[in-house]
Structure 1
Amino acid sequence: MARPRILVVGAGFAGVECIRRLERRLAPAEADIALVTPNSYQLYLPLLPQVASGVLTPQSVAVSLRRSSRYRTRIVPGGVIGVDTRAKACVVRKITGEIEEHAYDHLVLAPGSVTRTFDIPGLAEHARGMKTLAEAAYLRDHVISQLDLADAGEDEAERAARLCFVVVGGGYAGTETAACLQRLTHHAVKRYPRLDPREITWHLVDLAPKLMPELGDSLGRTALDVLRRRGIQVSLGVSVAKASATEITLTDGRILPSRTLIWTAGVAASPLIGTLDAETVRGRLVVTPEMTVPGADGVFALGDAAAVPDLAAGEEGAICPPTAQHALRQGRTLADNLIATLRRQPLRPYVHKDLGLVVDLGGTDAVSKPLGIPLRGLPAQAVARGYHWSALRTNVAKARVLTNWLLNATAGDDFVRTGIQHPEPPTLRRFEHTDAYLSADQVRARTAALRASGPGTAG
């Protein structure tokens, strides 16, 4: 009999951890494994603010999936743009632009999330996110270029706009991004004699009444004090009303002349989930505690795109938050359940108690809550960096990150930009490819022949 075909969608924490466990615990004769991803690396997302600020190089947080020859998973360079669970096939757009159908016997959906946006005038055209490696590298170039352009220009109003930076989102991504990039401009401006450091303004705005409420009131206030001590203007209970290329209007009526809008106001499940004819909750795919999709034969889902029940929370209806630690552990449990399915053994539910939170504010500033213990300053920084360092998957990645940290701490930054700037900067949609997906009807049209001939017959 032909070996069962396992198709994994997404090379984030959840998808890669699932694959690595399958490779270790499944004999080659038990299944063929394929991974669909546009990039042959696993991105360590929590460290992107440090890439944007120049503390880490892009390569150090992009862990290659092809480095070891002992792995047997076939990597399909492309993205899944639709799923038909009845035909047991995924529609894949390869990086060559070709569209083809890939059949599966067992499907693991780990497409992750995208930046959550709202219907705010000008947002889609003028905001930049912090969700991909390209966005982090672009933002570093952009911020340094604003200093260069302000230094070269003579118009005072234009200079003020170029030196005003706005970050939206008071969660971990937004807080760390504002903190790290503010440190970048604080140190870089010393190399610009014509610029007055007092001209540089950073704004962090969030609609919530508290900064990072998951940390608790005390640590949230500590983080707020750190940001304000650095001169970052934090506005809570406020969001963006509209944006243009030259100014940002806030909901409290203020107009900020600015050429930089960084949007980190939460995440939403990958648009791929919308192509399935399946139940969702808050946009995430409904799954059982064993991470199977009800009514879809052979389909599992996990990570940011799945509403995995949080059995450890002790609350009815609780779902796991979209964090790296949950994604990693879900990947292991799902792999075990997939192996159990192949071997006709019982599945086990996912249960994991949250280990805590870490927030790196750059330098010696951090707030952390490991195992519920509140930490500030250097102890929190040691825990935050120690956690991130240990979570990196390969020794090469660990060596690169540690070397970057030591080099930055001792030698600082050279404030070099690559020069990759475009007259029309890429938008959020282009960075994250959120407009690449098919509609449910388009998916069904492409898989109609497969439905007629029987599920799982595509090449």
Structure 2
Amino acid sequence: MERPRILVVGGGFAGVECARRLERRLSPAEAEIALVTPYSYQLYLPLLPNVAAGVLTPQSVAVSLRRTLHRTNIIPGGAIGVDTQAKMCVIRAITDEVVVKRYDYLVLAPGSITRTFDIPGLNQYARGMKTLAEAAYIRDHVIAQLDLASATQDRAERESRLQFVVVGGGYAGTETAACLQRLTTAATKRYPRLDPRLVKWHLIDIAPRLMPELGDKLGRTALDILRRRGIDISLGVSVAEVGADSVKFTDGRLIPSRTLIWTAGVAASPLVGTLGAETVKGRLAVTADMRVPQLDGVFALGDAAAVPDLAKGDGAVCPPTAQHGQRQGKTVADNVVALLRNQPLAAYRHRDLGLVVDLGGADAVSKPLGVELHGPAAQAVARGYHLMALRTNVAKARVAVNWTLNATAGDDFVRTGFQARRPAALRDFEYTDSYLTREQVKEYTTSLLAKG
């Protein structure tokens, strides 16, 4: 008798946690488990700002899936379409070959992409902070701006190279601005020809508050810490236009700058659009047990799904965070097992563990289990949480050693020359144009069925 085929799409927090739990709960004879992911590692996204600042090496936050998963078939590639009637997933392999994978149970955790808007110059000149390559590129780019500013005789060019703009006052944007500002502050001491007062970081967000999830008191504390360090924070402001050497804000200001880091939110993976299912603000509508209504054997979770937040009620959905993704992955795995064994399914409920925000060095704010902390105590909680959340002992050791080395030896300002002669933008790192239309998906699966 053929084993049921479970296909997990996405190697992020939700997908990997689901596959890990399926391995633990199912015997090899009960099901065949496969995971589709473009890379053979799970990216620990919350620590990307540390990579961009050079505090952590890139491999420290890239947790090997072959260490994490032991009998799951890892399919290197990206899911680009799903035919839910034929129960087939269309995959573009890393060889660029398009293949079709059959499934009996499908777990959709394809994650999200950077959300952009129709702002002139944004896609051409903005950089993102969603992938490991982007974090590595931004580090090289920022240090290169210091090198070039030190070398040029043109005052206007120097000014534009030494001003940096980060858009997005959430966790990613705030931590990115904080960690990189700390890096450039330390770096300018090594550049005799640069006036540290010319180096300026701008953090802007259209929202009226910085990281509203922190609450009023802790949010103000974070704001005060960043402003004391010299970061210019503008709320209720966004970007009107981006040029090669300037950024125009919606309040009319024109900032000479050659660096715009865009972290203003995420949108669900375009894979969602190939299913033809109901969505909520672009995310797949799912029931409390994370099944996609009317689609047999299909579950969705993480950033790509609007999972009801039963703890809040009133139609609220869970935010796209790592904490929710990991817990949802466990619940979906349990529900797939329950379907296989004809047992009742469970609704997803969570207890918030709190929030941690690393502002670089000893600066941090955190709210573990509702207790508000800032300074070294908050940093200890933040780093303890991240070490606990990393899934392999090798990853934990690498991160702990990197943090210790940075604390004792200080920052380094070496750049690798990554894409030095080719400016990279959002569109160069997120392959949003590789997905199929529903009609194309149907063509692939119909052709395969015709061949038998």
8 Å Cα contact 2:114-2:265 kept in structure 1: yes
Show the counterpart of 2:13. 13
Shift of 1:425: 2.2
Contact 1:114–1:267 (CA<8 Å) still a contact in 2?
yes
Residue matched to 2:307? 308
Runs (5+) with no aligned partner, structure 2: none
* Cα offsets for 1:205-229 (capped at 9, x unmatched): 1001111111111111111111111
Identify the residue that residue 368 of structure 1 maps to in structure 2.
366
Q: Which residue does 1:435 correspond to in 2?
A: 433
CA distance in 2, matches of 1:304, 1:291: 12
For 2:266, the aligned partner's letter is V
Structure 1 residues 134, 170: closer, same or farther in 2, change over 3 A?
Answer: same
Q: Which residue of 2 aligns with 1:350?
A: 348
2:383 partner letter: R
Shift of 1:426: 2.6
Structure 2 matches for 1:9-408, cutoff 5 A? 9-67=9-67, 71-313=70-312, 315-408=313-406
For 1:312, what is the secondary structure of its paired residue?
coil
Give, as a single letter, the amino acid of the residue that structure 2 aligns with 1:103.
Answer: R
Other structure's SS at 2:299 match:
strand
Task: After TM superposition, give the deviation of residue 190 of structure 1 in Å.
Answer: 0.6
Mapped partners of 2:421, 2:387: distance in 1: 37
CA–CA separation in structure 2 for the residues paired with 1:325 and 1:95 = 29
CA distance in 2, matches of 1:237, 1:447: 48
SS in 2 for 1:66: helix
Are the aligned partners of 2:67 and 2:392 in contact in 1 as well (CA < 8 Å)?
no
* Larger deviation, residues 426-435 vs 333-342: 426-435
What is the total number of aligned residue pairs between the two structures?
Answer: 452
**Alpha-carbon distance in 2 for matches of 1:183, 1:430:** 27
Q: How far did residue 441 of structure 1 move? A: 1.9
Q: TM-score, normalised by structure 1?
A: 0.97
Instruction: Write the deviation string for residues 97-122 of structure 1: whole angstroms up to 9, x where unpaired.
Output: 11111111110100011111111111
> Which blocks of at least 5 consecutive residues in structure 1 are unaligned?
none
Provide the C-alpha distance between the structure 1 equivalents of 2:232 and 2:66, rounded to a whole number of angstroms.
Answer: 44
What's the secondary structure of 1:211's corresponding residue? coil
Q: Is the 8 A contact 1:171 1:212 kept in 2?
A: yes
Question: Which secondary structure does the structure 1 equivalent of 2:186 belong to?
Answer: helix
Q: TM-score, normalised by structure 2?
A: 0.98
Superposition deviation, residue 423 in structure 1: 3.1
Q: Could you tell me the percent identity over the aligned residues? A: 74
The answer to whether the 8 Å contact 1:126/1:427 transfers is yes
SS at 2:120's partner residue?
Answer: coil
Residue type matched to 1:263 in 2?
W
**How big is the shift at 1:413?**
1.8
Once residues 283 and 87 of structure 2 are traced to their aligned partners in structure 1, the CA distance between those partners, rounded to angstroms, is 20
Q: CA deviation at 1:450?
A: 5.2
> How far did residue 436 of structure 1 move?
1.4
Q: CA deviation at 1:246?
A: 1.0
Q: Distance in 2 between matches of 1:60 and 1:423?
A: 27
SS state at 2:412 partner: coil
Runs of 4+ in 1 over 6 A off after TM superposition: none
Contact 1:86–1:451 (CA under 8 A) maintained in structure 2: no
Match of residue 417 from structure 1: 415
Relative to structure 1, is the Cα distance of residues 207 and 443 closer, same or farther in structure 2, using a 3 angstrom cutoff? same
Q: Which moved more, 1:110-119 or 1:432-441?
A: 432-441
CA distance in 1, matches of 2:96, 2:450: 26
User: 2:162–2:257: 8 Å Cα contact kept in structure 1?
Assistant: yes
Could you tell me how far apart the structure 2 residues matched to 1:175 and 1:250 are?
Answer: 18
Distance in 2, Cα, partners of 1:359 & 1:226 = 12
- Mapped contact 1:287–1:306 kept (Cα < 8 A): yes
CA drift of 1:452 comes to 6.7
- State the alpha-carbon separation in 1 of the partners of residues 357 and 263 from structure 2: 15
CA contact (8 A) 1:161 1:257 kept: yes
Contact 2:33-2:73 within 8 A present in 1 as well: yes
